[in-house]
């Protein structure tokens, strides 16, 4: 099977990593992969807050077997992530969503975490997670360590591993034209040098441009911007001025703080902290946004010239393609969906989508089914349905962060308060009835690629909004 991946970045090179691990699984399907991406086009790179699933993804796709993965945590400027801190979405309340709590450490959960303690030589810094009395959820989902990571450096590690595999070829070029077949599938792509490339399967990792899927008009897109109002992010790279004290100040958490026109994140990396303001430019001017961001960065502890900081200004559109896999094109990464980054689900869903695609390929390669077979199409239809259901559920949960907030100090927050959908009402009712949102949570079996998307413990924020005194 010949596979072309258009686009690099985290989505493209994660796809190459996963798909290349299938090489030789079946005599009928030798996997040959070409990754088409222009090295001169920069990837969107900010400090990333990752869920624990990245460890599973690496294990499943032989990441750790490569010598090129040695010391990758250090290469990628990683720090550990124990959970998400939710601040000021509701008056006088702070919510902490941990990945895991062990009963023998409940008394220490606010006091003692370590800086990459599980890697020899990385445990030299002990940090405090919080300095306030944060409520601890009664229920937590078992999980392992999450990470904060420099995504650009992570992309490079993935790329180095992939191009070292015999069945992966990187072509540094742009796609100039997409040739379609009569049945609406992609027949071939034409590169900048005029060379035409054909494949059995195409992976669209071109972000919001959707270079391949945009040529398939019947592949529709559902826009979430009517209920998820943020559409832009301003990201600052802030150097530590007192590394020991400021890493301790940040702790091994992703801090999420509501702001006048959206919310602000803190993602601590080893060499700097990424501070990003996610906002709606329909409700505020850039001068207003920059003023609030500047005040936050100064209060955080930066006393230099904020105008000298490296910044990234990026616009986005919340929504999803209605079919992850359409004919012979699979959308992975931002080309498939973008749901508000409030709960750090982006890379998780990218990589979980890849593993779900791989599971289908494994199943049908072993059965010697062709891509056009009825059995293959049935599996694809199921994947598309499940993906759509889960993404809509996550959207509902993200929306609740806004809809349940008691902030009303700007037109942004006033407009966020909308009637709850039927699904959202069920989520809250389930929680208040103490039955929990189990219908939204699928436990991941590390040995089973058939597991669907797993909704992490993000639902724990409901304790923050719905608790009674």
Domains belonging to the chain, first-starting first, are 2-75+151-225+318-391 (3.50.50.60)
* Tokens representing residue 363 in the block: 């199943």
102 CA to centre of own chain:
26
Which residues, in sequence order, are CB contacts of 145 under 8 Å at separation 6+? Answer: 52, 55, 80, 81, 82, 99, 118
Residue 298 to residue 305: CA distance in whole angstroms:
10
DSSP-derived 3-state class of residue 157: helix
The Cα diameter of the chain in Å comes to 68
Rounded to the nearest 5°, which phi and psi values hold at 227?
Answer: -120, -25
Q: What is the residue whose two structure tokens read 């405090």?
A: 128
The tokens for 75 are: 């290469």
C-beta neighbour count of 312 within 10 angstroms: 15
d(CA 161, CA 168): 10
Both tokens assigned to 220? 């529709």
Q: Is 402 helix (H, G, I), strand (E, B) or coil?
A: helix
| pLDDT tens series, the chain, 469 aa | 899 999 999 999 999 999 998 866 655 568 899 999 988 776 766 668 888 788 888 888 888 888 888 878 888 888 877 777 778 887 656 666 656 544 344 333 333 332 332 233 322 233 323 222 333 333 333 345 678 899 999 999 999 999 999 899 999 999 999 999 999 999 999 999 999 999 999 999 999 999 999 999 877 889 999 999 999 999 999 999 887 777 777 777 888 899 999 999 999 888 889 999 999 999 999 999 999 999 999 999 999 999 999 999 999 989 999 999 999 999 999 999 998 888 888 888 899 999 999 999 988 887 788 888 999 999 999 999 999 988 888 888 888 888 888 889 999 999 998 888 887 787 777 655 654 444 443 333 333 333 333 333 444 455 555 554 3
- DSSP character for 451? -
CA 310 to CA 303: how far, in whole Å? 15
3-state SS assignment for residue 76: coil
Token pair for 258: 């509501």
Q: Which residue has the tokens 């690099």?
A: 8
Of 183, 238, 262, the residue nearest 216 (C-alpha) = 183
SS3 call for 163: helix
Whole-angstrom distance, CA of residue 421 vs CA of residue 350: 26
First to last CA, the chain: 60
């Amino acid at each position: 099977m010949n596979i072309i991946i258009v686009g690099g970045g985290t989505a493209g090179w994660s796809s190459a990593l996963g798909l290349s691990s299938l090489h030789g699984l079946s005599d009928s399907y030798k996997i040959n992969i070409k990754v088409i991406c222009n090295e001169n086009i920069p990837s969107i790179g900010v400090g990333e807050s990752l869920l624990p699933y990245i460890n599973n993804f690496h294990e499943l796709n032989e990441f750790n077997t490569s010598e090129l993965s040695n010391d990758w945590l250090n290469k990628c400027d990683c720090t550990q992530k124990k959970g998400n801190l939710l601040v000021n979405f509701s008056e006088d309340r702070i919510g902490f969503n941990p990945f895991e709590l062990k009963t023998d450490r409940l008394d220490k959960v606010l006091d003692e975490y370590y800086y990459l303690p599980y890697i020899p030589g990385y445990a030299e810094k002990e940090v405090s997670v919080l300095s306030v009395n944060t409520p601890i959820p009664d229920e937590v989902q078992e999980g392992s360590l999450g990470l904060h990571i420099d995504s650009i450096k992570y992309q490079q590690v993935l790329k180095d591993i992939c191009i070292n595999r015999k069945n992966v070829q990187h072509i540094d070029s742009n796609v100039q034209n997409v040739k379609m077949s009569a049945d609406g599938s992609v027949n071939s792509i034409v590169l900048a040098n005029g060379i035409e490339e054909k494949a059995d399967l195409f992976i669209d990792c071109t972000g919001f441009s959707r270079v391949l899927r945009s040529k398939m008009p019947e592949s529709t897109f559902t826009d979430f911007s009517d209920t998820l109002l943020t559409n832009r992010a301003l990201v600052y790279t802030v150097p530590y001025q007192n590394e020991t004290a400021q890493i301790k100040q940040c702790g091994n958490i992703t801090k999420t703080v509501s702001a006048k026109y959206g919310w602000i994140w803190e993602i601590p990396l080893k060499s700097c902290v990424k501070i990003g303001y996610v906002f709606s430019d329909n409700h505020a001017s850039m001068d207003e946004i920059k003023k609030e961001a500047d005040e936050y960065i100064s209060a955080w502890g930066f006393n230099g010239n904020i105008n000298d900081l490296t910044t990234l200004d990026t616009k986005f559109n919340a929504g999803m393609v209605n079919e992850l896999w359409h004919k012979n094109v699979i959308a992975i990464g931002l080309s498939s969906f973008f749901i508000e980054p409030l709960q750090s689900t982006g890379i998780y869903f990218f990589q979980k989508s890849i593993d779900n695609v791989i599971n289908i390929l494994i199943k049908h390669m072993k059965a010697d089914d062709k891509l056009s077979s009825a059995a293959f199409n049935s599996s694809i239809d199921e994947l598309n349905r499940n993906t759509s259901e889960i993404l809509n559920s996550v959207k509902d949960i993200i929306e609740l962060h806004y809809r349940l907030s008691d902030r009303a100090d700007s037109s942004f927050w006033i407009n966020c308060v909308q009637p709850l959908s039927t699904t959202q009402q069920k989520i809250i009712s389930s929680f208040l009835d103490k039955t929990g949102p189990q219908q939204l949570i699928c436990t991941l079996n590390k040995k089973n690629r058939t597991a669907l998307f797993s909704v992490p413990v993000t639902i724990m924020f409901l304790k923050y909004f719905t608790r009674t005194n």
